[in-house]
Amino acid sequence: MLMNQLATPGLGSLMAGRWAAGTGQLICAVTGFILLLTWMVKLTYGQIDYAMGNGNGSLKSVAWMGWWGGALFAGAWLWSGLTSISLMTASSQSQKQVLENVAANLISLGEREILSHLALLPHWTRTGPAISRVFEFKDFPAAINFVNAVAELAEQAQHHPDIDIRWNKVTLALTTHDAGGLTSRDFTLAHGLDEILPKA
């Protein structure tokens, strides 16, 4: 917003990835500035010529430059102001969503809550700030089929386990790195991983 309003209209929009608006604002601002500058130079030289008795002092032929230059520059500034307001609104919505996600899913669980969740997952064990489980299959292809199913579920949940594959054994470890420990997301995904086991 500061780049748009205090530096060059359109520059802040371009920096924020609003390419069409930023380019349009920058073109209007530069064109308006050039027209205004040309108008001021012609006005100055016209007045000097008139003062020296070399002209009639009429500058009607260049007056349009001042009007159009001022209108384009003011329009670019107003347009970039509207874009800045739009960017601020989008940013506040994004920050609100991040805070809601943090409040809902990224709060580290206390010891009592962790033990309560683990009681519902008899095959999972706790190792420090993570829970893990070893899955065993008849052969390597069956293990890889399971890993593919894990990847699909993890993508849907946007929460990804650490995976260790040893021929027919797959070890999955879950922790929420952003929270620095275990959260409800880890236990929810663990339940989901237990449910896909018969399908793998």
pTM: 0.48
What is the tens place of the pLDDT at every residue in 52-111?
Answer: 766 665 556 677 788 888 888 888 878 887 887 877 777 666 556 555 555 555 678 889
CATH C-level class of 111-199: alpha beta
Distant-in-sequence, close-in-space partners of 28: CB < 8 Å, separation ≥ 6: 9, 10, 72, 73, 75, 76, 79
Residue 84 or 190, more confident:
190
Residue 95 or 159, more confident:
159
d(CA 47, CA 18): 43
Rounded to 5 degrees, φ, ψ at 162 are -80, 135
pLDDT at 3: 65
Residue 123 or 56, more confident:
123
Residue 88 or 165, more confident:
165
For the four alpha carbons of 156, 160, 166 and 170, in that order, the dihedral sign comes to negative
pLDDT at 153: 92
For 46, 105, 172, the CA distances from 156, given in Å and listed in that order, are 71, 15, 17
| pLDDT range class, residue 121, cuts 50, 70, 90 | very high
pLDDT at 119: 94
Residue 78 DSSP SS3? helix
| Domain segments of the chain as ranges | 2-105, 111-199
